[in-house]
Structure 1
Amino acid sequence: MTTTFQVIALSSLDPFADDRHDEPKLLYPDALKCAQELKAQGKAFRVFADGAATEEQRRAFLELGGVE
C-alpha cells in the first residue's frame, strides 16, 4: 500500500488540524510541494501520514518546519 499524506495549514480556528476529513490525500512528491508552498507563504502546517512514512520523508517535512 502506498503511503499518502495530508498537509494541513494551521489556523486560529483549528490550531491542531483536527478537522481534516475534507483535505486531500497526496502522494509524497505532491505533499512535499504543498509543504514547500506553505513554508514560502510563512504558514505553519502539520503533516499526517496514512501508512508508513520513511525516515527520509519525515525528515524532509520536519526540515520545512512541519509540526508533528
Structure 2
Amino acid sequence: MAATFQVIAISSLDPDGSDTRNEPMLLYPDALKTARQLKSEGKAFRVIAEGDHTEQQLRSFLELGALV
C-alpha cells in the first residue's frame, strides 16, 4: 500500500494537532509541499503517516520541524 500523509497545522484550538477530520490524505510530494508551505508561514504542524512510508520520507518532515 502506498504511503499517505496528513499534514495538520497546530493551532490554539487544536494544540496537539489531533483533529484530523477535515485533513486530506496526501501522497508524499503533496504532503511535503504542504509542510514546506506551513513552515514558510511560520506555522507548527504535525504529520501522520499511514501505509508503507520510508525513513527518508519521515526524516524530510522532521527536518522541516514537524511533530510526527
TM-score by length of 1: 0.95
Residue 22 (structure 1) shift: 1.6
Cα separation, 2, equivalents of 1:65 and 1:17: 14
State whether residues 10 and 45 of structure 2, in contact with CA within 8 Å, keep that contact through their aligned partners in structure 1.
Answer: yes
Structure 2: runs of 5 or more not aligned? none
State whether residues 2 and 53 of structure 2, in contact with CA within 8 Å, keep that contact through their aligned partners in structure 1.
Answer: no
**% identical equivalent positions:** 63
**Residue of structure 1 equivalent to 2:56:** 56
Residue 52 (structure 1) shift: 2.8
The C-alpha deviation readout for 1:8-67, integer Å capped at 9, x for no partner, is 000011011111022100000000000000000000000001113201001000000001
**Residue of structure 1 equivalent to 2:2:** 2
Cα separation, 1, equivalents of 2:66 and 2:34: 11
Q: 1:5 is paired with a residue of what secondary structure?
A: strand
**Residue of structure 1 equivalent to 2:44:** 44
2:28 corresponds to 1:28: yes
- Counterpart amino acid of residue 5 in structure 2: F
Aligned residues: 68
